[in-house]
Amino acid sequence: MPALAATLRLLRRALFRERLPVVPGCLPVSSGGAAVVADQRILKHASIESFAHYLRKHKCSSVLVLTGAGISTSAGIPDFRTPGTGLYDNLGKYNLPSPQSIFDIDFFRRNPNPFFLLARELYPGNFKPTPGHFFIKLLAEKGILLRNFTQNIDTLERVAGIREEFLVEAHGSFASAKCVGGRLKPKPNQYQSSENENNPNHSSSEEEAEESEEPYTAPCGATYTQEWVKEQVFAGKIPTCENPDCPAGLVKPDITFFGEQLPARFFTCLKTDFAKADAVIVMGSSLKVSPFAMLPLLLSKDVPRLLINNEVVGNFNPDNGKDAVFLGSCDDGCRALAALLGLEEELEEMIEAGAS
């Protein structure tokens, strides 16, 4: 796809530039990370107060908000990487080759059971939006938000009432589903159940290897609603395509797994939005999954950035004159920013209405 290739080239160029001591067209930073001189600063201080002052002074109306799993943790949904509590640290019961396998398309086609067992715990309808989600909705209603790029698949943005035109679900979501083709046989010595390991009649690795070469049935293109898939999952079934011409095709929510292409909307909005943005807020993301992790690198030199997170991530640098950092929860950061923008009362009313 030409558009995809061009976008990836842009992302690679941006990443390469950020490794240089002096970035062409960006604020100069020494190789030692020294602060820029005062008259080159976009923000007076690397604080949420300075960022809020900038938004008000410049009447910003094209703010991008980039969100990760941290915005949903107060709703009871675990993030992925927090030691001890993160999703990847709590998948042992599924006996996976690696934690990431549960979101791997090749693994899913051979063994969809672990994903659908996990889906029962994570499915939309089990959780309510957080103050962070309502803050993004408030930015949209006030004409401040350009777009919310989210890594999350929980659809809490939609539940909060953020209109679809403001959303880019970079990793897809549970909101829709489609047939992804017929199920593959398990690979030899992988994804085996414990009962097979002790079964004397279980086929040998050589026999399994021959079986595993069978090509999977191509997707038929049938689409399904979130409600239909949820009904199947909560009935303990593997959602299977109902198209009579599709022999038992697997139906998967439109979540982007490892090994799949990101949604076309991600690339379409990427090409337009980052040229328009007049400020960016990143919150609740580890910025470790590409290409999403590279998005903050695509901004013009004069675009200020605010990070709301429990730790500094990515290439955020409080000394570069354009970055502000709020260390804490997404809920606390959003409430603090709302207060600084004079939106505190409206945000609390929205949160209260959403909780009822």
The answer on whether 269 is annotated among ligand-binding residues is no
Binding site annotation covers 81?
yes
Residue 241 marked in a binding site:
yes
In what side-by-side order are the strands of the sheet with 172-182? Answer: 223-225, 172-182, 249-255
Would you say 197 is a known binding-site residue?
Answer: no
Q: In the 3-class helix/strand/coil scheme, how is the chain assigned residue by residue?
A: CHHHHHHHHHHHHHHHHHCCCCCCCCCCCCCCCCCCCHHHCCCCCCCHHHHHHHHHHCCCCCEEEEECHHHCHHHCCCCCCCCCCCHHHHCHHHCCCCHHHHHEHHHHHHCCHHHHHHHHHHCCCCCCCCHHHHHHHHHHHCCCEEEEEECCCCCHHHHHCCCHHHEEECCEEEEEEEEEEECCCCCCCCCCCHHHHCCCCCCCHHHHHHHHCCCCCCCCCCEEEHHHHHHHHHCCCCCECCCCCCCCEEEEEEECCECCCCCHHHHHHHHHHHHHCCEEEEECCCCCCCCHHHHHHHCCCCCCEEEEECCCCCCCCCCCCCEEEEECCHHHHHHHHHHHCCCHHHHHHHHHHHHC
Q: Is 26 annotated as a binding residue?
A: no
Structure tokens of 254? Answer: 């439109």
One of 45, 53, 171, 202 is an active-site residue; which one? 171
Q: Is 136 annotated as a binding residue?
A: no
104 is in an annotated binding site: no
Query: Would you tell me how many other CB atoms lie within 10 Å of the CB of residue 110?
Result: 18
CA distance 32 to 126: 48
The answer to whether 310 is annotated as binding is yes
Q: Is 330 annotated as a binding residue?
A: yes
71 is in an annotated binding site: yes
Q: Is 113 annotated as a binding residue?
A: no
Catalytic residue check, 171: yes
On whether 132 is known to bind a ligand per the annotation, the reply is no
The answer to the question of whether 220 is labelled as a binding residue is no
Which residue, among 173, 176, 151, has the nearest Cα to 239 in the 3D structure?
176
**120 annotated as belonging to a binding site for a ligand:** no
Annotated binding residue 286: no
**Does 152 show up as a binding residue in the annotation?**
yes
189 annotated as a binding-site residue: no
CA distance 265 to 135: 23
Annotation: binding site for Zn(2+): 179, 241, 246
Annotation: binding site: 69-73, 79-81, 151-154, 179, 241, 246, 309-311, 330
Annotation: binding site for NAD(+): 69-73, 79-81, 151-154, 309-311, 330
Active-site annotation, residues: 171
